[in-house]
């Protein structure tokens, strides 16, 4: 600011030579206010209406060019426009200007209806901090106006030498309650700083020091702080432009997991520790816990259901639980689901066999919730697509023979599958081999059934293949000096196959 005197000259910019008017010094500052009329519109009989239209800053070295940032020590101007929006001229109006605690007055001056005048105060010397300038036209309300409520306007700005926004870094950036966190950053101005947090209640203690634009500090996370992500802010005494933020995530030191079983008589082994229905356990974040579902007598495992945690395989009773938060783990058990199917000795499954389970009929395939010892009875024969199949044996799902009789007494201990196995009917196929050119019988030709050698043709050129199951089969005739002959036929009765084999050239 210029050296204080008993007078404050204040003028306005004009298209003519600048005019200066001496005003009474009221405060302890020297304010130079200059006004320039920009637009003049002829007035007509009505009332004037004076308003402070806009306020901006200009560098003293580049008058007329608005600026958005002022650095400490720079000379600058505060510029305003006063406009008469009424329909009559105003004579002898005054304009009061405030800059923080400093004050000056310009005028008296005249302004026509529709005229816009530009005033400025300065040059002023910028000091670091937040500043407010306030301008009031016709402060003593000597002019009879249409609207007396639009005569004042304020403008705030910050003077800072920072070349970049301030930064704030927290180490560590996350941890359980009680963690001591160090705060560091750079590009800070001022000597007083305060650490804050949102949500509140993160800090037990807080300290920070700013030296030469850099910052160091620390705080301890309150031992009662909830698991949450907090925004940590630091603000210096120079104002909001020196505000920087970082985040700190409070992680619980342990998570609580509640174990459930359905039915409640089952148990869960968690890392070898038995957990009955409703018991809890405490586990570190990120832990992997070996869990095994142990069903009650007569039941089998169904699946895991989870809340707040996960398991590697929900459908396997022996798996791992992954801890990512507090939650629950439930093991569901059910009666064994025992499935009965029917198939042929060739491996193809078929439906429609009527099986008796404890004197009650079911049609394959079917599943029952069973446990303990039960009686299964299969029919001695079944008809499949018009073909009669004969009972062969009972098998388990691994192919082990359980009984060759139609009646089976079996104890169900877990979910699995039981097969009633049937032989399809068997027929004879007489194979004749002939030279395709001479039509002479081929003696000694090898005959293959579904890729397996079953014999050679006789001196009369034929072979009777017995025990061929009903269905689709492939026959091959092979003889030295001849091309292989291959054909596929459906066997549904005893039949004859005549093969005409081509001689190699």
Based on the domain organization, do 240 and 286 belong to the same domain?
A: no
**Where are the extended beta strands (E) located within 126-166?**
129-137, 152-159
pLDDT for the residue numbered 242: 60
Query: Does residue 397 contact residue 336 with C-beta atoms inside 8 Å?
Result: no
**Both tokens of residue 219?**
């705080």
Alpha carbon distance 464, 478 (integer Å) = 16
Q: Which of these three, 114, 137, 159, is where a domain ends? A: 159
Do residues 34 and 144 both lie within one domain? yes
Final residue in a domain of this structure, among 423, 447, 470: 423
pTM of the shown model: 0.37
Task: Report which of 87, 137, 150, 144 is spatially closest to residue 109, judged by C-alpha positions.
Answer: 137
Expressed as residue numbers, the domain containing 104 is: 7-159
3-state helix, strand, coil in the chain (%, to 5): 0, 60, 40
Q: What is the per-residue pLDDT for 24?
A: 31
Domain-located, residue 155: yes
* pLDDT value for 160: 64
Residue 164 lies in a domain: no
Does any domain span residue 59? yes
Tell me: do 419 and 460 sit in the same domain: no
Residue 2 resides in a domain: no
User: What b-and-e string marks burial along 255-270, b requiring 16 or more CB atoms within 10 Å of the CB?
Assistant: bebbbbbeeeebbbeb
Contact 468, 423 (CB under 8 A): no
Helix (H) or strand (E) holding 112: none
Residue 421 has a pLDDT of 97
Using CA atoms, how far apart are residues 339 and 369, in angstroms rounded to an integer? Answer: 9
Whether residue 221 lies inside any domain: the answer is: yes
- pLDDT attached to residue 471: 82
Q: Are residues 354 and 293 in the same domain?
A: no
Do residues 145 and 47 share a domain?
A: yes
Quote the pLDDT of residue 278.
Answer: 96
Is 1 domain-assigned?
no
> Does 16 lie in the same domain as 111?
yes
Nearest to 245 by CA among 232, 229, 261, 264: 232
Q: Which of 377, 404, 423 is the last residue of a domain?
A: 423
Same domain, 323 and 347: no
- 101/89 same-domain check: yes
Give yes or no for a contact between 125 and 159, defined as CB atoms under 8 angstroms apart: no
* CA–CA gap between residue 59 and residue 233 (Å, rounded): 33
Find out whether 363 and 342 touch, Cβ atoms under 8 Å: no
Is the residue at 280 inside a domain? yes
pLDDT tens per residue, range 26-54: 433 334 444 444 444 444 458 999 999 99
Pair 347, 475 in one domain? no
Query: 433 lies in a domain?
Result: yes
The CA-atom distances, in angstroms, between 92 and each of 117, 135, 144, 279, 419 are 14, 17, 12, 88, 114
For each of the chain's 505 residues, which pLDDT tens digit applies?
Answer: 332 222 233 444 333 333 333 333 343 333 444 444 444 444 445 899 999 999 999 988 888 888 877 777 889 999 999 999 999 999 999 999 999 888 899 989 999 999 999 998 988 988 877 889 999 999 999 999 988 889 999 998 877 665 567 889 999 999 988 899 999 988 776 557 788 888 888 988 788 887 767 888 899 998 888 888 999 988 766 555 567 889 999 988 888 999 999 999 999 999 999 999 999 999 988 899 999 999 988 788 999 999 999 999 999 999 999 998 889 999 999 888 889 999 999 888 999 999 999 999 999 999 998 888 999 999 999 998 888 899 999 999 999 999 999 999 999 877 789 999 999 889 999 999 999 999 999 999 999 999 999 999 999 999 999 999 888 899 999 999 999 999 999 998 899 999 999 999 7
The CATH number that applies at residue 368 is: 2.60.40
Measure the N-to-C terminal CA separation of the chain; round to a whole number of Å.
Answer: 120
| Contact call for residues 466 and 428 (beta carbons, < 8 A) | yes
Mark whether 275 and 326 lie in a shared domain.
Answer: yes
pLDDT in tens, 248-284: 999 888 889 999 999 999 999 999 999 999 999 999 8
Let me know: does 463 contact 456? Beta carbons within 8 Å: yes
Q: Domain holding 117: CATH number?
A: 2.60.40.10
Helices first, then strands: H and E counts in the chain:
0, 44
155 with 13, same domain: the answer is yes
pLDDT of residue 205: 77
Total domain count for the chain? 5
> In sequence order, what are the residues at sequence separation of 6 or more whose Cβ sits closer than 8 angstroms to the Cβ of residue 52?
80, 81, 82, 135, 136, 137, 150, 151, 152, 153
Residues 344 and 414 in one domain: yes
Q: Output the CA torsion sign for 172, 177, 182, 186.
A: positive
β-bridge pairing 203-211 and 152-159: unpaired
Q: Tokens for 308?
A: 């707040």
Given a contact cutoff of 8 angstroms between Cβ atoms, the answer to whether 199 and 206 are in contact is no
């Amino acid at each position: 600011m210029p050296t204080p005197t008993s007078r404050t000259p204040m003028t306005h910019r004009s298209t003519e030579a600048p005019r200066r008017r001496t005003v009474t010094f009221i405060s302890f500052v020297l304010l130079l206010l200059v006004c320039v009329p920009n637009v003049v519109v002829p007035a007509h009989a009505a009332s004037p209406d004076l308003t402070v239209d806009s306020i901006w800053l200009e560098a003293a070295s580049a008058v007329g060019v608005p600026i958005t940032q002022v650095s400490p020590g720079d000379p600058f101007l505060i510029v305003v426009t006063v406009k008469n929006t009424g329909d009559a001229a105003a004579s002898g109006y005054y304009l009061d200007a405030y800059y923080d605690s400093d004050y000056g007055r310009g005028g008296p001056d005249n302004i026509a209806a529709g005229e816009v005048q530009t005033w400025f105060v300065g040059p002023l010397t910028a000091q670091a901090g937040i500043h407010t300038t306030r301008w009031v036209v016709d402060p003593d309300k000597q002019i009879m106006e249409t609207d007396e409520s639009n005569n004042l306007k304020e403008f705030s700005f910050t003077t800072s030498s920072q070349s970049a926004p301030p930064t704030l870094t927290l180490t560590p950036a996350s941890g359980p309650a009680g963690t001591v966190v160090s705060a560091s950053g750079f590009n800070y101005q001022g000597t007083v700083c305060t650490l804050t947090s949102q949500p509140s209640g993160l800090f037990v203690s807080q300290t920070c020091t700013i030296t030469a634009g850099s910052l160091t500090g620390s705080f301890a996370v309150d031992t009662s702080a909830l698991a949450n992500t907090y925004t940590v802010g630091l603000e210096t005494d120079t104002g909001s432009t020196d505000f920087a933020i970082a985040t700190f995530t409070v992680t619980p030191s342990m998570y609580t997991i509640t174990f459930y079983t359905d039915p409640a008589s089952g148990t869960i082994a968690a890392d070898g520790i038995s957990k009955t229905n409703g018991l809890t356990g405490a586990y570190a974040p990120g832990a992997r816990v070996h869990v095994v579902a142990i069903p009650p007598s007569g039941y089998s495992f169904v699946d895991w259901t989870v809340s707040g945690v996960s398991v590697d395989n929900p459908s396997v009773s022996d798996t791992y639980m992954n801890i990512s938060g507090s939650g629950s783990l439930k093991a569901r058990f059910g009666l064994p689901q025992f499935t009965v199917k029917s198939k042929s000795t060739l491996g193809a499954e078929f439906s429609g066999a009527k099986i008796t389970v404890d004197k009650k009929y079911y049609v394959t395939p079917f599943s029952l919730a069973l446990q303990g010892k039960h009686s299964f009875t299969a029919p001695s024969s079944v008809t499949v697509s018009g073909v009669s199949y004969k009972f062969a044996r009972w098998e388990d799902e691994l192919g082990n023979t359980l009984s060759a009789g139609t009646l089976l007494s079996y104890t169900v201990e877990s979910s699995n599958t039981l097969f009633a196995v049937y032989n399809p009917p068997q027929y004879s196929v007489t194979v004749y081999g002939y030279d395709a050119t001479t039509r002479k019988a081929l003696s000694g030709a090898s005959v293959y059934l579904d890729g397996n050698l079953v014999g050679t043709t006789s001196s009369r050129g034929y072979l009777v293949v017995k025990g061929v199951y009903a269905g689709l089969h492939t026959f091959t005739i092979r003889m030295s000096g001849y091309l292989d002959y291959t054909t596929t036929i459906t066997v549904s009765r005893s039949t004859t196959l005549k093969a005409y084999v081509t001689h190699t050239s």
